Structure 1
Amino acid sequence: MSTGEEDGEPLSPMARVFQLPGNDCCIITVIGCKTKINADVIRSGLNQNVFKHPRFSSKLFQSRDGLSWIKTQVNIEDHIFVADKDQNEIAEDGELFVEDYVSRLTMIPLDKSRPLWDIHILNVKTSDADAVCVIRSHHSLGDGTSLMSLLAACTQTTSHRDKATIPALKRRKRVYKDKVSWFVRLILAIFSSVRLIWNTFVDLVLLLAIAVFLKDTKTPLKGDVGVESSPKKLCHRTVSLDDLRVIKEAMSMTINDVLLGVTQAALSRYLNNFPGKIRLTAGVFVNLRPDKGIQPLADMMAKNSKCRWGNYFSSISFPISICLEADPLVYLSKAKSAMDRRKHSLLPALAFSSTEFIFNTFGAKLGGTLLKRLVSNTTTFISNMIGPTDEISFHGHPIVYIAPSVYGHAHALTIHFLSYAEKMVISIAVDPNVIPSPHQLCDEIEDSLKAIKAALLERGLL
């Protein structure tokens, strides 16, 4: 592709959302490595590959018609930063050094005169890694699914020199048994359609109510006005993916249901001493692509691809039940019931289409205001992504964990789950002025998972 303003590609409506004040979001991914990171090797690898990706080799251009992407010459040196060695020498606590470094990054905007990404190399030993690589990219470049496909394309498994293995799961379709008569199938189809329309209508009314006036309770988890501009503190915790799988099988639910149930239990424990009834809403991200898993990068970049690169996600409003239950399995049942109800609704796709319609018809200002109010009136976002099933290596650096998060939106708490190499990585991002210790939340999630597994073992269900 030639360089020049005439080649500009307009930003999609969702990309424009993330360029607005109050919604200016960045994805930040902390990657732990088993070995010290050779910055020269990383530079060499990026020099060979970054120009192949249009978003990572383009910058923003403001014209009379709005923002667009234009190709530019990428100087890798402008995008790679190595932590000062003197700072490393005085750092007694590797975790604290990494957390403080990442927190400072959340207050430094990406340079919009260049492609909107950078990489920070921290050769600091922590409890679970010998070095840390921090990758920042503006959310307008693409969503987590897109970026995970790019990471997979740039890595190999440590067991052999193949590309990373990431499952591309098809969405399950309901199949009726042949023995069911056509009349029964017709009745069920009519009932299902009516329920779908009704659920969508109710969810849409609720979404509008949240955007206009319906606010969550002010708890020790909810941020104040301006929280999107505050520094964020990130931490992570790793748990066994097998533990989640056995709970999933025992309770006949999905991994996502289990994670929401565990989160519901953890937040109930955290808010145990908060008086009164609590309304707490989480936005749960939904991938709108036809396939649930992450697709090969070449397929996502192909023209007219159904699983295309970009921001193709929406969210549902998930009510977190804050109540100390004597039986921890109740949290799972509540989460499954709430999610089953919301799966039978067209709201995620409708909300995505409505965002595009509002931005194209009424302009970015109105659309941005509605979205910011929708976020600020709720308490948190929860995301669950599928990562590589095998341990991977980035240019010869074996990866121990991948902990993604996002900042720049009006929440004091964001929770991300990512499966990687038989582990589930829990990433917590908080405003430390609201939530002083995100590690406590990680502890509560880990303890809640243990309590649920213990309850199943006690009843002989595992």
Structure 2
Amino acid sequence: YWRIHHCIGDGTSLAMLLSSTSDEHWGKELRDSKKQARSIFQFIGNCFKLWILLIGVLLVFIHWFKGFILGLIPGRSPKKLKSKLSTANEVAWDRKVLEVKKAKDIISHIEHTFAVKRHITLNDLMMSCMTQAIARYYKETYHSTPKHLPVAIPVNLRPSARSLGNKIGSLTFILPMNIENPVDRVLKVSEITSKAKKLPEPLVSYNLTKIFAKLPAFVTNLIFDMMSNQVYCIMSNVRGSPFTLSYEGHEMKGLVGLVPPPNGVTVAAGLASYDDWLVATLNCDAKTIPNPSRILEFYKEELRTLEAKYLTKKPE
């Protein structure tokens, strides 16, 4: 018999491995299994899927090329956020930015007032306000307002929450920094994200990363540095528990998760929720953004502005 020592969590994997590598019969001569015949309709269907995938990959590369060209135009991107990067970071967080219910009510009012056909997500609202907060900080610090902010969002590609391992792709957006009207900005961000989500960018970015990782180290580092230089901000969206959690009778008062920025990326924003409150965290380059708390102040002000516009009762 075999005796195998394993850790908790990989017993199922070992059982599947043994099952897949062993024979289903003992002491019998096995014949080659017959291949299942494929109909012409299956062949046509597979060709159509491959054609759609190739078109999607082409559109992803066009999307990336467009972002690269826009980044070369002077005054379009916040270039000064890349000028003095260091190895130290400054962090800030706020565990109670705005109640989730109020944020959803703001979205409902915007959709109803402007007869929006597509659904505006909570992430659209948070990304819009965070982008404007960064724009206000940039204007206050560097006395200029760029037109757009290149943003990347990590996307989990694992089939289920119980599966192990990392399988993470990314979505990239070019969000507006020069739209003062908060409602127009939310609508524009929602339009941008809706179009980007139709592309297979997460799958393409994940598989390209796997390919690049197999290249020589200096080539891999060069490619990753070039990719990071095109992104100024990482925004990670995490939906937390709608109620307070506890462990062995100890209540978890709040949730603070800091997003680690890749090399060359100035701002890493964590947009989450916990116990029916929006939570925001910032992990920024210490030289470029020495006071990330100021960005969080602007972020709350942007949300409060929308709250006052749509949720505050007007006196009769």
Task: Mark yes or no: TM-score above 0.5.
Answer: yes
Counterpart of 2:149 (choices 272, 275, 280) is 280
Which amino acid counterpart does residue 358 of structure 1 have in structure 2? F
What are the ranges of 5 or more consecutive residues in structure 1 without an aligned counterpart? 4-50, 55-189, 301-307
Counterpart of 1:388 in 2: which secondary structure?
coil
1:328 and 1:455 in contact (8 A); partners too:
no
Give me the TM-score of the superposition, normalised by structure 1.
0.49
Q: Distance in 2 between matches of 1:226 and 1:329?
A: 33
- More deviation, 206-215/417-426: 206-215
Q: Distance in 1 between matches of 2:174 and 2:256?
A: 25
Matched, 1:448 2:307: no
Which amino acid counterpart does residue 386 of structure 1 have in structure 2? R
How far the C-alpha of 1:200 sits from its partner, in A, is 4.5
How far the C-alpha of 1:423 sits from its partner, in A, is 1.2
Counterpart of 1:402 in 2: which secondary structure?
coil
Asked which structure has the greater CA Rg, the reply is 2
Which residue matches 1:333?
187
Q: Distance in 2 between matches of 1:450 and 1:200?
A: 40
Matched, 1:427 2:281: yes
Q: Distance in 1 between matches of 2:182 and 2:313?
A: 12
Which amino acid counterpart does residue 312 of structure 1 have in structure 2? K
Q: Distance in 2 between matches of 1:225 and 1:206?
A: 28
Matched, 1:234 2:91: yes
Which residue matches 2:237?
384
Which amino acid counterpart does residue 260 of structure 2 have in structure 1? Y
What are the ranges of 5 or more consecutive residues in structure 2 without an aligned counterpart? 11-47, 112-118
Q: What are the equivalent positions in structure 2 for 1:345-364 lying under 5 Å apart?
A: 345-360=199-214, 362-364=215-217
Counterpart of 2:272 in 1: which secondary structure?
strand
Which residue matches 2:175?
320
Q: Distance in 2 between matches of 1:415 and 1:204?
A: 26
More helix by share: 2
Counterpart of 2:102 (choices 231, 243, 255) is 243
1:234 and 1:428 in contact (8 A); partners too:
yes
Determine what percentage of the aligned residue pairs are the same residue.
Answer: 17
Give me the TM-score of the superposition, normalised by structure 2.
0.70
Which residue matches 2:60?
203
Which residue matches 1:33?
none
Which amino acid counterpart does residue 272 of structure 1 have in structure 2? K
Over 3 Å counting, the alpha-carbon distance change for 1:370 and 1:224 in structure 2 is same
Counterpart of 1:309 (choices 164, 176, 182) is 164
Q: Distance in 2 between matches of 1:213 and 1:319?
A: 9
Q: What are the equivalent positions in structure 2 for 1:78-227 lying under 5 Å apart?
A: 200-207=57-64, 214=71, 217-220=77-80, 222-224=81-83, 227=86
Q: Distance in 2 between matches of 1:276 and 1:224?
A: 16
Which residue matches 1:258?
125
Q: Distance in 2 between matches of 1:458 and 1:198?
A: 47
How far the C-alpha of 1:276 sits from its partner, in A, is 6.0
Counterpart of 2:289 in 1: which secondary structure?
coil
| CA-to-aligned-CA distance 1:74-126 (integer Å, 9 cap, x gap) | xxxxxxxxxxxxxxxxxxxxxxxxxxxxxxxxxxxxxxxxxxxxxxxxxxxxx
Over 3 Å counting, the alpha-carbon distance change for 1:276 and 1:257 in structure 2 is closer
Q: Distance in 1 between matches of 2:272 and 2:136?
A: 23
1:405 and 1:428 in contact (8 A); partners too:
yes
Q: Distance in 2 between matches of 1:374 and 1:319?
A: 15
Matched, 1:269 2:159: no
Aligned residues: 256
2:232 and 2:266 in contact (8 A); partners too:
yes
Counterpart of 1:333 in 2: which secondary structure?
helix
